[in-house]
Amino acid sequence: MCGIVGYIGNKPVYDILITGLKKLEYRGYDSAGVMIYDKSLLIKKSKGKVADLESLFVNDQDKKGSIGMGHTRWATHGAPNQINSHPHVSNSGEISLVHNGIIENYHSLKSVLLKKGYVFKSDTDSEVLVNLIEDIKKTKKIKLGKATYFALKQVVGAYAIAVFDSTNPTEIITAKLGSPLAIGVGESEYYIGSDPSPFLEFTKRCIYLNDNEMAIINLKKGLTLRDIKKDSIIDPFIEELKHDIEEVEKGGYDHFMLKEIFEQPKSIKDTFRGRLLSPSLPIKISSIEMHFDKFRSANRIIFISCGTSWHASLLAEYYFEELIRIPVKVEYASEFRYRNPVINKGDIVIPVSQSGETADTLAAIKMAKEKGAFLYGICNVVGSTIARETDTGVYTHAGSEIGVASTKAFSCQISLLLLMALDIGKRLGRIEEIRYQKIIKELAAIPKTIESVLSKSKHIEDISENFLEASNFIYLGRGYHFPIALEGALKLKEISYIHAEGYPAAEMKHGPIALIDKYMPVVIIATNKSNYHKVVSNIMEIKARGGRIIAIVSSGDTEVKKLAEYTIEIPNCDELIAPILANIPLQLLSYYIANKKGCNIDQPRNLAKSVTVE
């Protein structure tokens, strides 16, 4: 969480910092602040959004300067107020710092500094770090780079930092451990960002810092990269980014979330590009091809992930066990990392993550690695830490997802997971050819089929009008639709703040049915395959107790239509394809309810896009 930006060069820095911070607001929006240097140090910070920070700049004089750093915060240590906002400044007023991450041992570092007479204004761990750097710099009489290096050697935790010393105002020091940091390389200028979005419009040449790396960016001497552990200089690897700038703009939609929902046909096409060339040709996922021996001999596959990615993993359990016949386990990364799971050689661990930066998933990866598992990562963000920490893997290629609530990334994850299950199952000879052909044809057509579901958006918007006063929702699904029910409930609660729970439909009678009355809307996925009649019975049970039913049904359904208050049709399809389609109306329903309630769709309260803290 938290986003950091920076610039050192010859351009006016103010606009670069402000527009950059706005692009990173998805990482946190509790407060924002900037440091600009123009003969003297100017720090401005504000509780709230970047727009609140902007309103503090009434004087154009303050916007001058061509070196600066900025921060948008997702609060961890200390309340989201002005004092706890970054940049933090050392006691002498000379050194300023922006930080994304958590310094876990800040208490002990702080007590040593307190004894030395340091004074702290904020409750943050970051203010401890900037003063530790200052203390080392002054006692050892060394430069900022060396002092930062020694300070980081004492730090336990995670960080992406940018540090500036106004006594040597031609240099910014950056370093990374656990939290992401990208450096944009221009002509005699450098940009800093938690991801490349703040500098994509200026340069596509990017250096992703690896863990334990530090970059000393000097206006005159250029960039020097150091390995903090080995204390040695390394050659920077400059990547040419292929990101499209339009991807990070709203493109005429009111919200990124809506844009991303409507982008799903294209995103899934991108997921399949080069992999599913035609239903008659073999699936081509090079990392599976190269490591097929691992899948052939696997005793077990364990998925580790969080939130929406965990729901995708849960659906993968159904897909993999059905089509590959290898036992699958799905774990919350946050639980997995703190218990003592049995992992044997021959187990494949598959972390699934949109951002590729989720702290719990990363920690679980490290643990699985130590226990000898083979790690196959599924990530969306290219070059992310999870992509680099795994043995091999595959990108979802959903494109940049800016809306905090995940939509297109999830659809791409589940489409890719089904493609993988088909590929591995076919190679192992565990799927009947006729079945394989049927599913693969429908999967290849899914971008088009999703378009037809999206064309029902007006109908879904009309339904949403009737539920703006609801304070609870239940989502039900059986089999392949159970993970979709969980995901539907999560989407609604995240963006509309309406309490919602997802259950397997048959679990209703074991407790949740007590909640049903005329005030309880129940969204139930009732498409026409194997469990259809059992779901119809569940609908009757709800109806008998006065619950209000919104049902997702297969086109042409007549039975459920007689029972439900509202129905939304999806095309007839194989039961393995149906969850991918059924999820789309649930995304739209959440979106329209939240929008009509006036909620902040793209930046829901208390959330951040990339959860890089525990």
Applying CB under 6 A, which residues contact ligand F6R? 306-309, 353-355, 358, 361, 405-406, 490, 494, 610-611
Residue 304 CB burial class (10 angstroms; 0-12, 13-18, ≥19): buried
Task: Give the chain's radius of gyration (CA, Å).
Answer: 26
Shortest distance, position 483 Cβ to ligand F6R, whole Å = 13
**Minimum gap (Å) between residue 411 Cβ and ligand F6R:** 12
Cβ(303)–Cβ(348) under 8 Å?
no
Buried b (16+ CB within 10 A) or exposed e, 561-596: eebbebbbbbbbbebbbbbbbbbbbbbbbbbbbbbe
CB of 375 to ligand F6R, least distance (A): 15
386 vs 450, beta carbon nearer ligand F6R: 386
Residue 2 annotated to the active site: yes
**Of 358 and 411, which CB lies nearer to ligand F6R in the complex structure?**
358
Q: Cite the DSSP H helix spans in 117-262.
A: 125-140, 144-154, 256-262
Residue of 247, 146, 236 whose CA lies nearest to 184: 236
What is residue 378's DSSP assignment? E
Please, which residue, 312 or 450, has the CB nearer to ligand F6R? 312
Q: Are 205 and 240 in contact (CB under 8 A)?
A: yes
Facing residues of 72 across strands?
3, 32
Q: How near is the Cβ of 527 to ligand F6R at its closest, in Å? A: 23
Which pair of structure tokens corresponds to residue 18?
Answer: 């402000």
H/E run at residue 426: helix 408-427
Q: Report the distance separating Cα 403 and Cα 259, nearest Å.
A: 9
In order of 178, 484, 490, 505, the CA distances from 526 in angstroms are 43, 12, 19, 10
Q: Which is nearer to ligand F6R, 583 or 610 (CB)?
A: 610
**Whose Cβ is closer to ligand F6R: residue 308's or residue 415's?**
308
Amino acid sitting at position 598 = G
| Min dist. Cβ of residue 85 to ligand F6R (A) | 24
Rank residues 197 and 355 by Cβ distance to ligand F6R and give the closer one. Answer: 355
Beta carbon of residue 187, minimum distance to ligand F6R (angstroms, whole number): 34
Is the Cβ–Cβ distance between 314 and 328 less than 8 Å? no
Nearer to ligand F6R, 148 or 354 (CB): 354
CA distances from 548 to 80, 356, 377, 519, 545 (A): 39, 39, 41, 7, 9
Question: What is the smallest separation between the CB atom of 448 and ligand F6R, expressed in angstroms?
Answer: 25
DSSP string, 244-259: -GGGGS-TT-SSHHHH
> How many helices (DSSP H) and strands (DSSP E) are in the chain?
21, 25
Say which DSSP state 282 is in.
P
Read out DSSP for 470-539? -SEEEEEE-GGGHHHHHHHHHHHHHHH--EEEEEEGGGGGGTGGGG-STT-EEEEEE-SSTTHHHHHHHH
| Minimum distance from residue 590 beta carbon to ligand F6R (Å) | 10
Q: Which residue has the tokens 């074991």?
A: 510
Residue number with CB closer to ligand F6R (200 or 306): 306
Cis peptide before 265 (omega within 30 of 0): no
Residue appearing with tokens 């450098």: 190
Mention every residue, 6+ apart, whose C-beta is less than 8 A from residue 201.
245
- Closer residue to ligand F6R in complex, CB, 20/604: 604
Question: Of the listed 2, 306, 412, 573, which one is catalytic?
Answer: 2
Question: Least distance to ligand F6R from the beta carbon of 180, Å?
Answer: 11
Question: What is the number of the residue whose Cβ is closest to ligand F6R?
Answer: 307
Q: Please state the closest distance from residue 463 (CB atom) to ligand F6R, in A.
A: 21
Q: Name the token pair of 580.
A: 């991918």
Give the residue with the Cβ less far from ligand F6R, 267 or 406.
406
Of 370, 309, 371, 354, the residue nearest 334 (C-alpha): 309
Residue type, position 563, single letter: L
Residues designated catalytic: 2, 609
